[in-house]
Structure 1
Amino acid sequence: MSKLLCVGNTEFFLHAFGRALRTVSEYKSSQDRFRDRFVPAFAHRDFSRLWRANLGTTMSFWMQSIAQGWLVVQLTDSPFVLGLLAFFRSIPMLILSPFGGVLADRFNRIRLLLGAQVLMGGSGLAVGILVAIDVIEVWHLALAGITIGASFALSVPARNALVSDLVPRDVISNAVALTNTTMNASRVVGPTLAGFLIGIIGIAGTYFAQVGGYVWSTLNLLTVKGGDDHPRARGSTLGALREGFGYVFRTPIMLALMLLGMSPALFSMPMIMLLPAFVKQDLGAGPEDLGLLMGALGVGAVIGSLMVVTYAKHRYKGPVVLMSAFTFGALVIVLAFTRSLMVSGLVLFISGFFQAVYMATNQSIIQLLVPDQLRGRVLSIWMLSWGLTPLGLLPMAVVAETVGTPVAMVMGGVLSVLVVLGVMIWNQGLWTIDPEQVLADRDEESRV
């Protein structure tokens, strides 16, 4: 009898163990199907590590932006100073980005990123200490802004070019969309967290907290194995720059994509820099509300990025870029007329969605069309849009100081919409471009 019970128990446990193994196998299979369908880029370990590193960097960047914005409002209560400091942080991107592209095409891209992490984390730590000992001045923030801007300018082309180094061509669109998701997800976590931390541990504590993101990013970058196996740019620095700019100006589709990337950055994006003044002066709200509004913008952007991730291989990338850029500019105009937190949050949520869609899709097309040997330099030209923001921000800050932030927002939104309409009319090829097919045709020609 005991022998029968023993056999029965053994069969029961073997059956249960077999079912457990099948359940685990089915769960793993469903995970694999989900990954292959929606996030195939995550199947490549080095890309996953780069993605985590980007998340830490961008979250720290947005935390630092909110902390600095609220600090400036406390110190000066001036939209112009707010815009001026954003100018100091962004202008190095306009001047140094092309040189960052040359560096990305000549040197180990991971080492470039590691150097930038040290500079950005160190500047945030220094400002936190100055705030803690109560000796912070506006010129300190300007110097820190220049350091961060220069670090971004010299490293972001390498960061973007690495995406194509670490994944096969057939998942580049998915990888680009996931990379953009890091910035948009950080807009949810970073500003919201910064807003609450300012209220709990103060501005100095918030600066110290964001340094942790740079440490996390550095640890992940140290585990990435790629970054040194790309075609190298030859010749002089100026010759390499001319080659990159020449390619863009000789290729109408590429020039149109650059204009679409730059016009919202020049005219619409400054509204984010002026948001602290808009929140305090026009909405009568505080830092926690500013964090929530930035979080709403970020949530919309995350959803927009996930939409691009899901439909990364669709054929209608050109029309999507055109219509989403147009809508983003129009929503900036709508935001200027809002006077309640709820309505402002809703408009920012929708704005974030369309901003993420146009940015991710725009960069995906560029990544697919650009030749490998020019990737870093062309992406650095695309990144000039980040440096153009202060050129639009300074006049908008003057207008905001003189007649109010809402008027400046309307001005920027109208100009952005007009530029997008001009590109729509000038380059009809964007309505029908299929970058995956162009890439397939190019590969076929190279094999022949």
Structure 2
Amino acid sequence: MMSTFSAFTNQNFRFCWASNISLYISRWMQMTTLSWFVFDQTESAFMVSLIGFFGLAPLMFFGLFGGVIADFFNKKVLIIISQIITFSGAVVMTFLLLFDFLQLWHVYVAIFVPGVSWALDMPSRRALVMDILGPDRITNGISLDAVGMHTSKMVGPAIAGALIAFTGVLGTYVFMSVIIFVGTVSIFQVNMNQDDFNQRNKNHFSMLSGIKFFFIELADAFKYALNNQTIFAVLVITFFMNLLLFPYMQMVSIISKEVLSVGPLLMGILMASDGFGALIGSTALASKSKMEFHGRYYLYGSILSLSGLLLFGISEIYFISMILLFALGLGTSGFGTMQSVIVLLVSKKEFRGRCMGLVTLCIGAAPVGSIILGLSSEMFSTSNALIINSFIGLVFVIISGYKMSSIRGRIIPDN
């Protein structure tokens, strides 16, 4: 049991973890709240899909930049700036709701702003965990971070659903603002020496304003990733998973209302079942003190989650749908945890931030997937669109895992 939570013996990691989970809870609450609000106002699957698009589109445009700056700036400072931006956005939404000024376009801005912050600081958050714990405990640290992420995926939608049912959308934003503020205070407590970030930033600091420098570093990262089959496999599978699997999240509110005929409270519980499965899986991974075949958890978790989504699209029974989302979440725990662990372990220290930036770029396929899923839902129904997406995803992921065999082999850390 102690090995499961060994990373928590490090005080800096505890504060970093608290900051991360506040972000995750607020993000899931916001996604649930706004998806429900938009569908309630418009009854359009496409308009709901735009929540996913605007929330994740910044990953396409800013993810790589976030990876570059993570290698050259103090990661703690970057995360603090991001938290403040996210907090400010939540407070503005609270006042718009309080004074009844909220319009539909505000909703898309409200999800876009924290999306920008997330794109810029996500590489820094994961790389900071590596800086705090080192390669020996990074699997445990990222697994515990995944426990926090998946706990929030369970708790966030459930809280949002309950608050929508009993207090309305305003109540969710008041609660979110408090949670984000707590996370901002937590990251301030991380005590990292200024020399902990990469020393070569001192040699290039004056060049950071140059576009040429940015693209040189970016080109180096692409070349490095393409020459490492394991990293490249992670990038390819991450791209397909985010294009074809994860856009389903905005559609759960539609399935809840149109197929399963339940209200916001049961919708929140349904969405929480996904998070519960992911929590069980990530806790099990955190308990493993030694691991060699990280890629197998990553690959087989991807296949399990896509299979769960395919069957979820077929189901018309609430309880069965809960079980299928639980299985989906169990699979995403292997995918989501090992995604970062593999890249951080096999990449050289000077490339870690940029490699995580490439992962963020691939996650940026999700907004494109959201638009595609929204359009196909309008054409074929939401259930059929989920079935089509998951089937295509299974084909691509299985082929990728077969062709790039290193993802199934032993992962050897590059210290």
Q: TM-score under structure 1 normalisation?
A: 0.87
Deviations 1:305-328 (A, max 9, x none): 011101252222222222111111
Is 2:41 the partner of 1:84? no
Question: Equivalent residue for 1:113?
Answer: 79
Question: Equivalent residue for 2:179?
Answer: 213
Question: Equivalent residue for 1:23?
Answer: none
Equivalent residue runs for 1:96-111 within 5 Å:
96-111=62-77
Displacement of 1:378? 0.4
Is 2:166 the partner of 1:166? no
Distance in 2 of aligned mates of 1:112 and 1:169: 22
Deviations 1:365-419 (A, max 9, x none): 1111111111111011112233211111111101112221011101110111011
Question: Equivalent residue for 2:164?
Answer: 198
Which amino acid in structure 1 is aligned with residue 229 of structure 2? Answer: P
Equivalent residue runs for 1:6-405 within 5 Å:
34-35=1-2, 37-226=3-192, 228=194, 229-231=196-198, 232=200, 234=204, 236-405=213-382
Deviations 1:348-373 (A, max 9, x none): 01110111112112321111111111
Distance in 2 of aligned mates of 1:353 and 1:336: 17
Distance in 1 of aligned mates of 2:12 and 2:336: 23
Point out the more displaced range, 130-139 or 63-72. Answer: 130-139
Q: 1:427 aligns with which of 401, 404, 409?
A: 404
Q: What SS is found at the alignment partner of 1:169?
A: coil
Conserved 8 A contact 2:377-2:385: yes
Q: What SS is found at the alignment partner of 1:39?
A: helix
Distance in 1 of aligned mates of 2:338 and 2:380: 36
Point out the more displaced range, 232-241 or 133-142. Answer: 232-241
Conserved 8 A contact 1:100-1:153: yes
Distance in 2 of aligned mates of 1:227 and 1:333: 48
Distance in 1 of aligned mates of 2:405 and 2:55: 36
Distance in 2 of aligned mates of 1:239 and 1:336: 44
For structure 1, the residue ranges without an aligned partner over 5 or more in a row are 1-33, 444-448
Q: TM-score under structure 2 normalisation?
A: 0.94
Distance in 2 of aligned mates of 1:369 and 1:227: 25
Which structure has more RCO (C-alpha within 8 Å, separation ≥ 6)? 2
Displacement of 1:227? 6.9
Distance in 1 of aligned mates of 2:402 and 2:133: 35
Question: Equivalent residue for 2:210?
Answer: none
Deviations 1:88-134 (A, max 9, x none): 12111111100001111111111111111111111122222222322
Conserved 8 A contact 2:51-2:250: no
Which amino acid in structure 2 is aligned with residue 292 of structure 1? Answer: I
Deviations 1:162-200 (A, max 9, x none): 000111321111111111111101011111011101111
Alignment length (residue pairs): 404
Question: Aligned residues: percent identity?
Answer: 25
Conserved 8 A contact 1:329-1:413: yes
Which amino acid in structure 1 is aligned with residue 295 of structure 2? Answer: G
Conserved 8 A contact 2:299-2:335: yes
Bigger Cα Rg = 1
